[in-house]
Amino acid sequence: MTPDFTQSFALDYNGARRKFVAAAEALGCALSQYRHPSKTGPDGEALAIDVARLGDPKAPSQLVIISGTHGLEGLSGSAAQIGWMQSEFARALPRGVSVLFVHALNPYGFAWGTRTTENNVDLNRNFIDHDAPYPANPGYATLYTHQVPNEWTPAALAPYTEAVSAFQATHGADALFDAQARGQYEFPQGTNYGGNQREWSNLALQSIVADHLGAAERVGFIDWHTGIGDWAKSFFLCFNDEGGALHAEAVRWWGKDRIVGQRPHNVARPNYQGLVFHGLTQFLGGRPMVGAVIEFGTRGPHVRHALRLDQWLKFKAEADSERVRMLRADLHDCFVPVSSHWRGETTQQAISITQQAIEGLTTWSLAATTAA
């Protein structure tokens, strides 16, 4: 039976926070919060990353589940966390495994309904060495000129579409998506901007690891996202090295079909820079981590258009109008569809995928012994 989505989803950041804290308290989780030092939400509310620990903090195997890396996608990630917390599985955690829920890693973006942070940074491109020269993305620079027009009209949007078509005709669809999505460090008002310093959320995640994962000997990782894949279907981006033991472990947990050879929007996977996955791996200091960004699909390749809309609403739109509210609703629906079908289906899959990770963690050492 499909879960009741109205129990797992909320309407906004505040509502999601309340539901998350209530679900955590019902399970007897230990709660802590990492409050944003300077920013507040649209109603003046405090912004924080909420962390809930289910089970033994000294457990050798720990599953870290993150929501809201991309701000507004957090309504889905939050529901994915809460859905599992409300399932029967949460009351039957195996011995030796515990779960650390990180709710709203980018609370500013979550509360304000944008994918990026308070500095327009794509947090999932920010975990990079900011003292080293940034990786170049010349393809992005080529396309940037017309990306976010002053007016959001078909005529004003057309030149970018033409530039994209020309780029694809010359370089191919794989190179186009790589240029658009891998991350860029040159245009602070552009999409997928990785920033010029570590964001507050990046620093906070390091504190969370130090405060909560000291005892972990092995870590499972799920970072919930939306926007890649088929409607209401999960899509995995596993960043463990293909051919390595950790990648094989991810295959064992979730299945070969989901982990091997995944092609987002049916093109080659971009050479993503500065992922949370990279940051967490570094913060764990050599302890093994198996995991993935797990997306729920919405509008397929049309999502790229909504990334531009996010930037336009932030930098070019009038403060408020019927038209702006209509466009904002479209942006939100693109990343977290209002559809009860989508919300019920994704909650159900999130419960199953989370439970597979927990079962994988439970038998991880056993598998390693068998393989040796």
Task: Tell me which residues touch Zn ion (CB under 5 A).
Answer: 70, 73, 225
Nearest residue to 212 (alpha-carbon basis) of 56, 39, 368, 19 = 56
What's the closest the beta carbon of residue 31 comes to Zn ion, in angstroms? Answer: 25
Nearest residue to 94 (alpha-carbon basis) of 53, 59, 58, 51 = 59
What's the closest the beta carbon of residue 73 comes to Zn ion, in angstroms? Answer: 5
Give me the amino acid identity at 192. Answer: N
What's the closest the beta carbon of residue 295 comes to Zn ion, in angstroms? Answer: 7
Cβ count near 56 (within 10 Å): 14
Q: Which two tokens stand for residue 122?
A: 């794509």
156, 149 Cβ separation under 8 angstroms = yes
Residues in the chain: 372
234, 254 Cβ separation under 8 angstroms = no
In the chain, how long is the greatest CA-to-CA distance? 64
For Zn ion, the closer of residues 73 and 118 by Cβ is 73
Helix, strand or coil for residue 238? strand
What's the closest the beta carbon of residue 227 comes to Zn ion, in angstroms? Answer: 6
For Zn ion, the closer of residues 157 and 334 by Cβ is 334
What's the closest the beta carbon of residue 70 comes to Zn ion, in angstroms? Answer: 3
What's the closest the beta carbon of residue 118 comes to Zn ion, in angstroms? Answer: 17
Give CA–CA dist 173/269, Å, rounded.
Answer: 11
What's the closest the beta carbon of residue 124 comes to Zn ion, in angstroms? Answer: 6
For Zn ion, the closer of residues 23 and 181 by Cβ is 181
For Zn ion, the closer of residues 28 and 301 by Cβ is 301
Give CA–CA dist 149/160, Å, rounded.
Answer: 9
For Zn ion, the closer of residues 110 and 140 by Cβ is 110
For Zn ion, the closer of residues 124 and 347 by Cβ is 124
What's the closest the beta carbon of residue 359 comes to Zn ion, in angstroms? Answer: 26
For Zn ion, the closer of residues 73 and 249 by Cβ is 73
Give CA–CA dist 85/82, Å, rounded.
Answer: 5
32, 109 Cβ separation under 8 angstroms = no
Give CA–CA dist 79/86, Å, rounded.
Answer: 10
Nearest residue to 124 (alpha-carbon basis) of 72, 182, 50 = 182
Per-residue burial over 78-107, b = 16 or more CB atoms within 10 Å of its CB, e = otherwise: bbbbbbbbbbebbeebeebbbbbbbbbbbb
For Zn ion, the closer of residues 70 and 308 by Cβ is 70
